[in-house]
Amino acid sequence: MSVRHDWYQSETKVVISVLLKNAADKHYAVEISPDRVHMTADGYELDLKLLHPIVVERSSHKAFASKVEITLAKETGLRWENLEQKAVAVAVAAPVKSQPKNWDQLVSEEEKIDEKEAKGETALNNLFKKIYSTSSPEVQKAMNKSFSESGGTVLSTNWDEVGKEKVTVKPPDGTEFREWEK
């Protein structure tokens, strides 16, 4: 049985995401050669004949909770039109309608996976980044002003409150704020 996969590229690398939950428990293995990627797991197989050559020594793979990510270093900075070489058709095939990719949905799925994998301070930072990036300019201005004026002890999204006066330092309970001695 084959596994679902997708890919994207930058100028220097190609990243293949193989959607496979608990890959480590399924004894996954990845073989990378200059023109091929072969991945197996209990009952699963993915065999890709790559469109362009890659540098094996700078390529790698890593298992996450819901996927295996294979990073391939491009040999040249060429833009790949496809991940794989096209097979030469021997017989005349009927035209196949391809489904357009919903990139917004794919990004949303990746963000959900990343949120689930993040823990502790990383998860908190990701939450603040998400709040900031999806907020109005007024909310962003309030967040910047409150955080910088309070020495990092206050983070407010209410510009009506923050815009009136300087934000005071509010240290956590049980601590006190002191100015650096000059």
Residue 67's CATH number? 2.60.40.790
Looking at the domain assignment, is residue 106 inside a domain? Answer: no
Q: Worst-scoring range by mean pLDDT, 7-11, 72-76, 172-176?
A: 172-176
C-alpha to C-alpha distance for 158 and 134, rounded to whole angstroms: 15
pLDDT, residue 17, reads 92
Looking at the domain assignment, is residue 83 inside a domain? Answer: no
Looking at the domain assignment, is residue 112 inside a domain? Answer: no
User: Which pair of tokens denotes residue 144?
Assistant: 């910047």
> CB of 158 within 8 A of CB of 142?
yes
Looking at the domain assignment, is residue 35 inside a domain? Answer: yes
Domain final position from 74, 96, 111: 74
Looking at the domain assignment, is residue 118 inside a domain? Answer: no
pLDDT, residue 64, reads 87
Work out the pLDDT band at 59, boundaries 50, 70, 90: very high
156 is in which domain, residue-wise? 135-177
In degrees and rounded to multiples of 5, residue 111 shows phi and psi of -65, -40
Q: How many domains does the chain have?
A: 2
Looking at the domain assignment, is residue 114 inside a domain? Answer: no
Looking at the domain assignment, is residue 29 inside a domain? Answer: yes
Domain final position from 74, 92, 112: 74
Domain final position from 74, 91, 115: 74
pLDDT tens for each residue of 109-136: 777 776 666 677 777 777 778 888 888 8
User: Which pair of tokens denotes residue 15?
Assistant: 């990243």
Work out the pLDDT band at 2, boundaries 50, 70, 90: low
Looking at the domain assignment, is residue 81 inside a domain? Answer: no
